[in-house]
Amino acid sequence: MGRRTALWTAVPAVAAVLLALPARPLVAQDENRTLTSALQAYQNLEYETAAALFRRALAVEAPSPDTLPTALRPKALTYLAASDYYRGRKDSASVVFRRLIVQDPRYRPDPLIFPPEVTAAFENARRVMKVVAVVTPGDTSLRLGRDQYPIKMYASSFHEIVVGLEHPDGRFIKGIYAGPIGDSLDVSWDGFDSASVPADGNVVLTVTSRPTAGGEVVRVVRIMLDIHATHADTLPWPTPPDTLFLPEKAPPGAAVRSLSGGLLGAAAVLLLPSVVGSGTHATGSRYVVVGALSLAGIVGFASQRPGVPLPDNVAKNLARRAAFQRQIDLTKQDNARRRIGVLERIRAGTPLVISRDTQ
């Protein structure tokens, strides 16, 4: 009697919901009356009649005036599963529950309306179902570097999932999340691929369900994302000033030229006619000039011998390298601002489900 009373009190509540719906075409009202008749039969324990009427009310699934309101379909499916359960068709009831879970992983039967044996049968079906409902914005814009594309997921039961992006032909683009999901999970995507390049064109968001980490894939949800990106041209890297650098060590030629110049000058003074003294013979003054020129050549050779650092050139090169590095830093900053300025418009398609469960 307790269960019959609970079922009896449930019927007026559902009927009140039906009566509160806006006026609809005559066929839709007939569908509502069909559901009301099914609920009445269920309350009267006429489970065969109730199951037939519930199936009739749920027969039209495509959007049309004949379709049962979306808000009432989960409850109608639950009553159908309960009707099958009480007429001894527990396997059929399990199939209906699985159908219900696939449609809405978040749904739970109201324990104040449905007795424990029905809710227990639902929980048994839910525990073995690894289903994720994926909710994404239908049409949104994303400013790269500032915004995140939100992905909301609801699971029928605890299991492992992998969330990623790929090309329509299956080539990998980027991984977003890999790990467990309980009742729900929020993840996000920054709009870039794995190489930090803004995504553009058609990409596929995939959510793969497995009972355990590394286990067999049982279900995949695929959502096509149509992305139109407004790209800002980035600046090219500055050209390295290699040709502007001065030698930082003395080359062999400079030392040789200094020594040769000094020796040649000394020889010229020694061999040419008198320059600083009278007569044709070498004088003391001429030997002084010869010695000075020779010494200058030797000093020049010593100061510019191969491999000797040239401090002035080193200082100039350091200044040029610092200026080049500043150019690189400014280019990086400018390109970062240009990438942030990329605006992506993302339009999500209808989820496509690939599942091992064909029921």
Which long-range contacts does 260-267 make (Cβ < 8 Å, 24+ apart)? Answer: 260/297, 261/297, 261/300, 262/293, 262/294, 262/295, 262/296, 262/297, 262/298, 262/300, 262/301, 263/293, 263/294, 263/297, 265/293, 265/296, 265/297, 266/290, 266/291, 266/293, 266/294, 266/297
The last residue of one of the domains, among 100, 128, 156, is 128
pLDDT at position 267, please? 60
Least confident of 150-159, 211-220, 242-251, 253-262: 253-262
Is position 237 within any domain?
Answer: no
Given pLDDT bands bounded at 50, 70 and 90, which one contains residue 143? confident
Residue 154 makes CB contacts below 8 A (sequence gap 6+) with 105, 106, 132, 133, 135, 183, 184
pLDDT in tens, 269-302: 555 555 444 555 555 565 555 555 555 555 555 5
Residues 351 and 309 in one domain: no
351 and 218 inside one domain: yes
Does pLDDT of 214 surpass 90?
no
> What pLDDT shows up at residue 273?
55
Provide the pLDDT for residue 276. 47
The residue count of the chain comes to 359
Range from 133-142, 178-187, 318-327 carrying the lowest mean pLDDT: 318-327
Pull the structure tokens for residue 307: 């491999």
- The residue segments making up the domain with residue 187 are 132-230+344-355
pLDDT of residue 1: 39
Whether this model's pTM surpasses 0.85:
no
- CATH classification at residue 73: 1.25.40
Q: Which pLDDT score, from 0 to 100, does residue 315 have?
A: 82
- Give pLDDT, residue 9: 43
78: in domain: yes
In a domain, 235, yes or no: no
Co-location of 112 and 168 in the same domain: no
Q: Is the pLDDT of residue 255 over 80?
A: no
**109-118, 241-250, 311-320: which is most confident:** 109-118
Does a structural domain hold residue 236? no
pLDDT tier, 248 (very low <50, low <70, confident <90, very high otherwise):
low
pLDDT, tens digit (0-9, with 9 covering 90-100), for 314-346: 787 788 888 888 888 888 877 776 666 577 899
Mean pLDDT of 74-99: 94
Is 140 inside any structural domain?
yes
Backbone angles phi, psi at 308, to 5 degrees: -75, 130
Does residue 166 sit in the same domain as residue 215?
yes
307 pLDDT band (50/70/90 cuts)?
A: low
- What CATH number does residue 348 fall under? 2.60.40.4070
Q: What's residue 43's pLDDT? A: 94
Looking at 98, 128, 158, which one is the last position of a domain?
A: 128
Do 141 and 90 share a domain, yes or no? Answer: no
Shared-domain flag, residues 13 and 100: yes
Please tell me the predicted confidence (pLDDT) of residue 282.
52
Query: In terms of Cα–Cα distance, which of 123, 206, 214 is closest to 168?
Result: 206
Look at residue 48 and tell me if it is in a domain. yes
Same domain, 141 and 119: no
How many structural domains are present in the chain? 3
205 and 172, same domain (yes or no): yes
Same domain flag for 115 and 250:
no
Nearest to 149 by CA among 119, 182, 193: 193
The reply to whether 85 and 32 lie within a common domain is yes
Q: What is the pLDDT of residue 317?
A: 77
Q: How far is residue 227 CA from its own chain's centroid?
A: 13
Q: Which is higher by pLDDT, 66 or 184?
A: 184
Dihedrals phi, psi of 164, to nearest 5 degrees: -155, 180
Q: Measured on CA atoms in the order 55, 38, 71, 122, is the torsion positive or negative?
A: negative
320 is a domain residue: yes
Q: Are residues 144 and 277 both part of a single domain?
A: no
| Shared-domain flag, residues 178 and 321 | no
Report the candidate in 88, 133, 80 with the shortest Cα–Cα distance to residue 109. 80
